[in-house]
Amino acid sequence: MEATVELSAAWRTDPGLVRGHNEDFVAVYEPETPDDLSAHGSLYIVADGVGGADAGEVASQYASERTLYHYLRPSADEERGRRLIEAMQAANTDLRQLAAGLEDSRRMATTMVAAAIHEGHAYIGNVGDSRAYLLRGGVLTQVTRDQSLVARLVEEGALTPEEAVNYPYKNIILYSIGSEKRPPIDLFQVDLELGDQLLLCSDGLTRHVSDGEIAGLLLEQPLEVIVESLVRLARERGGEDNITVAVVQYGPRPDVPPAGDEEATTTIYRARPRPVVITEPVPVAAPQTVTRVAPPERGPRMWPVMLVLTLVMIILIVLLWYFIQQTTAL
């Protein structure tokens, strides 16, 4: 039971070296009583605002605070994953109403990754390109899937992972809180084991620090030092964006190799691809590491058909014009 497992956490947000202000935001709810723990569990949110000027800064804070508000309201839905997603969707509506009420009608939006931890389970909602990672047994796994243009191109085979690193439009996100009436928010579930660590972060970290380096720091250092070290490393490599990191430890930390042990480092710091997507319910007794609840499948792409129809219409118009010209000449 979660009541017997201690959670500890640390977080840090930093403007970086290029941006004039910080559009990232961290929101945390940690229950103070057993009743609060039973009713809500704990909730950690990292948001990365977009929109320029102060719009992104307002969007990330407002959406995070509204997500907390809606999640903590009395609810008949005991399924924490649905409860989290609906809280994020409600915050999306609130943010759109806030933006619509402004005189300049500026666009306000934010990415968001949120982890609700309750009775040994982590329910992770994600929209945009902020990320959640799981460290278990020395292996770092990216739990979330980036909702970005470059990630979509890699998934479709249009870009290789190597080409994606230098892709000029890699900062374009496909969905966000505030961008549309009901954005497709991904939901992931992780059944936690003692010693697991969850890391939530904005892309200001992952553009400068590799997964292997993240794993190494998570294994070697205390939580408070981990977040400081990750932010400092991103700043040392340019700090091109705001940098935000939150780390949650489930139970005591397992024994790890001492810092500076190169042989152990080579063996244990290995990044693993994202787990296979599971779309059907998994029996409780079955072994389970990460479960992704996939969003509804999108319909077939219509642009090839529309393109062909457009070309046919253009040809018919040209033929009709030619026929009229010939008739007039006679």
Considering the chain, what percentage of its residues have pLDDT values greater than 70?
74
Give 46 or 158, the one with higher predicted confidence. Answer: 46
Q: How far apart are the C-alpha atoms of 115 and 186, rounded to whole Å?
A: 12
Instruction: Give the DSSP letter string of 157-169.
Output: TSS-HHHHHT-TT
Which residues in 240-270 are b (16+ Cβ under 10 Å) and which e?
A: bbbbbbbbbbbbebeebbeeeeeeebeebbe
- CA dist 60 and 203 (Å) reads 14
Contact 24, 48 (CB under 8 A): yes
What is the rounded distance in angstroms from the CA atom of residue 211 to the CA atom of residue 269? 9
Summarised one tens digit per residue, pLDDT across range 119-140 is 999 999 999 999 999 999 999 9
**pLDDT tens digits, one per residue of 60-104:** 999 999 999 999 998 766 789 999 999 999 999 999 999 988 876
- 323 — pLDDT class (breaks 50, 70, 90): low
Q: What is residue 325's predicted lDDT score, i.e. its pLDDT?
A: 66
What is residue 3's three-state secondary structure?
A: helix
Task: Specify the higher pLDDT residue, 222 or 313.
Answer: 222
- Edge to edge, the sheet with strand 121-127 lists 24-29, 42-50, 109-118, 121-127, 186-191, 290-293
Lowest average pLDDT, out of 14-23, 216-225, 316-325, goes to 316-325
**pLDDT greater than 60 at residue 258:** no
Distance CA 324, CA 310 (A): 21
Ranges of each domain in the chain: 2-299, 301-330
Identify the pLDDT of residue 160: 86
- Phi and psi angles of residue 186, each rounded to the nearest 5 degrees, phi first: -75, 145
CB 113 within 8 A of CB 45: yes
Hunting for tokens 């079955």 — which residue is that? 286
Give 225-252 pLDDT, tens digit per residue: 999 999 999 999 999 999 999 999 999 9
Over residues 308-326, the mean pLDDT reads 69
How confident is the model over 270-313, as pLDDT tens digits?
Answer: 333 333 332 333 332 223 334 444 443 444 444 455 566 666 67
Q: Give the pLDDT band of residue 166 (cuts 50, 70, 90).
A: confident
Class of domain 2-299: alpha beta
pLDDT of residue 73: 92
- Predicted confidence (pLDDT) at residue 107 exceeds the cutoff of 90: no
